[in-house]
């Protein structure tokens, strides 16, 4: 077990501007393999998911850009950044004037990453590691989900849960770079971006990524 997750985040990332939302700087890794291997070594487990929290994923970058450019979507509102990773979308929501932002992610490193990124951007972010998909969607005004359709079981589970939130009157915004399990049907297109990313993670250096409302 890693005793000090905050120290692990600081030691294996560097503070850098987000390519498509340079108003925001995050503690990010440059290469995926070393930090992934180190995570597995430190935790003594193999086959762990990648260190999602150490990268600004294309779908999250698009959604962050959208919120920064359309602050009326979140200004004065309670926002959930679901599957937050680094907390990028939560940071963008707070910079756009949200009343509060709760970041949710089940990865054990995310709490430390979100705290570091909140401090770096001088915003307040709450965090939960609970799997919110196990219960009813929380009472917030807006749920943001950046890049959540990369695996079929997760995508199906998330989209079903987001549909329940929408039925309760919550505004649901999704950022997606055309992942295999992103449905498009039943969604309203809002904006598209050409998001710089890295060949460490993606097949292209620029990923066309869009923001949709459920």
Chain residues binding ligand SAM by CB under 6 A are 52-53, 56-57, 59-60, 83-86, 88-89, 104-107, 131, 133, 146-148, 150, 154
Nearer to ligand SAM, 93 or 104 (CB): 104
Q: Which residue's Cβ lies closest to ligand SAM?
A: 60
Query: At closest approach, how far in Å is the CB of 178 from ligand SAM?
Result: 13
Tell the residue number behind the tokens 């009157």, with chain if given.
169
Query: At closest approach, how far in Å is the CB of 132 from ligand SAM?
Result: 6
Nearer to ligand SAM, 77 or 148 (CB): 148
Q: Please tell me whether residue 6 adopts helix, strand or coil conformation.
A: helix
Q: What is the CA radius of gyration of the chain?
A: 16
Q: Which residues are CB-neighbours of 59 under 8 A, at least 6 positions away?
A: 146, 147, 148, 149, 174, 175, 176, 177, 179, 209
| Torsional class of 95: left (φ above 0), alpha (ψ -120 to 50), beta (otherwise) | alpha
Query: At closest approach, how far in Å is the CB of 142 from ligand SAM?
Result: 14
Query: At closest approach, how far in Å is the CB of 197 from ligand SAM?
Result: 10
d(CA 74, CA 93): 6
Nearer to ligand SAM, 50 or 97 (CB): 50
Q: Are 175 and 147 in contact (CB under 8 A)?
A: yes
SS3 for 100-121, per residue?
A: EEEEECCCCCHHHHHHHHHHHC
Q: Please tell me whether residue 156 adopts helix, strand or coil conformation.
A: helix
Query: At closest approach, how far in Å is the CB of 159 from ligand SAM?
Result: 12
Query: At closest approach, how far in Å is the CB of 18 from ligand SAM?
Result: 9
* E strand or H helix that includes residue 172: strand 171-176
């Amino acid at each position: 077990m890693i005793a000090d997750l905050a120290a692990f985040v600081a030691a294996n990332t560097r503070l850098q501007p987000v390519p498509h939302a340079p108003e925001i700087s995050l503690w990010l890794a440059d290469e995926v393999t070393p930090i992934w291997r180190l995570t597995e070594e430190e935790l003594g487990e193999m086959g762990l998911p990648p260190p999602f929290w150490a990268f600004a994923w294309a779908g999250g970058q698009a959604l962050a850009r959208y919120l920064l450019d359309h602050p009326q979507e979140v200004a004065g509102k309670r926002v959930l950044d679901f599957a937050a990773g680094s907390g990028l979308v939560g940071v963008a929501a707070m910079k756009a004037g949200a009343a509060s932002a709760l970041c949710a992610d089940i990865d054990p490193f995310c709490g430390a990453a979100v705290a570091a990124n909140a401090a770096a951007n001088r915003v307040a972010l709450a965090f939960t590691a609970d799997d919110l998909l196990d219960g009813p969607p929380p009472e917030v005004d807006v749920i943001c989900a950046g890049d959540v359709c990369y695996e079929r079981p997760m995508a199906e589970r998330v989209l079903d849960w987001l549909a329940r939130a929408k039925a309760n009157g919550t505004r649901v915004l999704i950022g997606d770079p055309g992942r295999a399990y992103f449905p498009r049907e039943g969604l309203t297109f809002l904006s598209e971006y050409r998001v710089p990313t890295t060949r460490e993670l993606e097949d292209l250096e620029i990923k066309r990524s869009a923001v949709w409302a459920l």
